[in-house]
Amino acid sequence: MEITKKNKYFYSTYFSLLIIRYFLYSLSYIYIPQYYMKNPHILFILTILCAFFTTIFSNIFLQGIGFYTMENTPSNWVKEDVKIDTASLKNFSMSVKSVAKKLSPSVVSIIVSKDVQTYKTDPFGFFYEPSGTIRKKVGGGTGFFITKDGLMLTNKHVVSNTQASYTIITAWGEEFTGKILAFDPTTDLAIMQAYDGNGKKLDECEPVSFIDNTTSLEVGDFLIAIGNALAEFNNTVTFWVVSALNRTIEAGDINTNETELLSGLIQTDVAINPGNSGWPLVNLDGKVIGINTAIASNATGLGFAIPLSEKEVTYLVDSVQKTGTIKRAFVGVRMISLNPRLAKNLNLPLSYGDMLAESPDAIVKNSPAEKAGLESGDIITEAAGITIGESYSLRDVIKDKIPGDKITLKVWKKKTQKIEVVELILEEK
């Protein structure tokens, strides 16, 4: 029989203490203790000697009866584990370095500059008057190429100042001019175009690749992020894991003091700092799974990213190239998000879901909702497999969908008083 390192010392200590106990117990019944009680230092020395020899003999006894063998010593275990872990860590390190090297040419730093008013004053500082303007750096972030001709994706809040100018700096130090093409109306995304010094589009950019479907993401997946840390240290590489999925937050822009409700986000503990906005989040296959958008200001290692897929980004690019704007999908309904109190006041059988408003204009004519047979008073309880509640609405579900996507709804129909399954095809707004 073989035992673990922990059990080995347990049995050894147990037998040692047992023998010491009976040794001290026996001393209390013979004459010798009377002498030792008058000389306690001798009793102490005898006890130590007894414990020492008992430990040795108990170890010999346990080994003799086969409780453990020399082949299972802790030194052999540690040596074997270290050998296996070293190989695994080397492979993992090679994967991270390979992805970082592959992605670096696609990631750019975005420098935000603006004309700032300057003033002159008298020697005593009593009077101020404008003296002109100077071009000054007022912010920065990160972006990455999504087409060969220099089309880039970044966060809306990074390039929200339409009065500012934007300089694009690549990993090799090349500088280009950035122009805002479109803002996403439903989430914190923006598309920019990079131009060379002659005002021409670039033609040799290395675009990133995206995952096919964001539903493949799982908590615990390893991630790599590359970007412009603190708007100063360009192409900084960091990594860790997906901490959670489908988070909803209210994000605020410290420059404009505006807030935006963002849902369906990836939570990650990748090291994120101010200036990291727009970093691509990449899996170990080198494919982008999302874009960093916000951090928790009162916490460490708590960031949030917007999930991205090949299909969604392709649609965004096509939309901008065809219309100059980003058009999103819509359902065509006016809704009220239910809660237990509201449901009780309205005497409804369900306390959650999105209820279609009971008004003549609740359903837009010829909209996807009307074509799917939705009517005023119906309650949508589930969409695309996601339960609709106070923290997650139908708008959140379709936010990242594109026109042409089909979603399955579970709807409590007011007419039949039953929950039915409804197929709905999203259209362009």
Domains detected in the chain? 5-72 (no CATH), 105-195 (2.40.10.10), 214-323 (2.40.10.10), 329-428 (2.30.42.10)
The tens digit of pLDDT for each residue in 318-371 reads 889 888 888 888 888 888 888 888 888 888 888 888 888 888 878 888 889 889
| CA nearest neighbour of 286 among 209, 369, 172 | 209
| CA nearest neighbour of 289 among 277, 300, 305 | 305
pLDDT winner (highest mean) among 35-39, 81-85, 157-161: 157-161
Model confidence band, residue 71 (pLDDT cutoffs 50, 70, 90): very low
pLDDT of residue 82: 46
What is the average pLDDT value for the chain, to the nearest integer?
77
Among 4-8, 55-59, 141-145, 393-397, which stretch is predicted with the lowest mean pLDDT? 4-8
Cα–Cα distance between 160 and 152 in angstroms, integer? 15
Between 402 and 409, name the one with better pLDDT: 409
As annotated, the active-site residues are 157, 188, 277
pLDDT of residue 410: 92
pLDDT of residue 93: 72
pLDDT of residue 79: 47
- Asked whether the predicted pLDDT for residue 80 surpasses 80, the reply is no
pLDDT, average across residues 140-148:
90
Cα–Cα distance between 145 and 292 in angstroms, integer? 15
Burial code of 265-292, b = ≥16 C-beta within 10 A, e = fewer?
A: bbbbbbbbbebbbbbbbbbeebbbbbbb
Cα–Cα distance between 332 and 428 in angstroms, integer? 10
Contact 319, 327 (CB under 8 A): yes
Cα–Cα distance between 419 and 415 in angstroms, integer? 10
Between 96 and 308, name the one with better pLDDT: 308
Between 354 and 34, name the one with better pLDDT: 354
Between 45 and 401, name the one with better pLDDT: 401
- Asked whether the predicted pLDDT for residue 106 surpasses 60, the reply is yes
Cα–Cα distance between 101 and 406 in angstroms, integer? 38
Cα–Cα distance between 280 and 293 in angstroms, integer? 10
Distances (CA, A) of 237 to 117, 163, 282: 36, 31, 11
Model confidence band, residue 70 (pLDDT cutoffs 50, 70, 90): very low
pLDDT of residue 31: 45
3-state secondary structure 165-212: EEEEECCCCCEEEEEEEEECCCCCCEEEEEECCCCCECCCCCCCCECC
Cα–Cα distance between 158 and 144 in angstroms, integer? 13
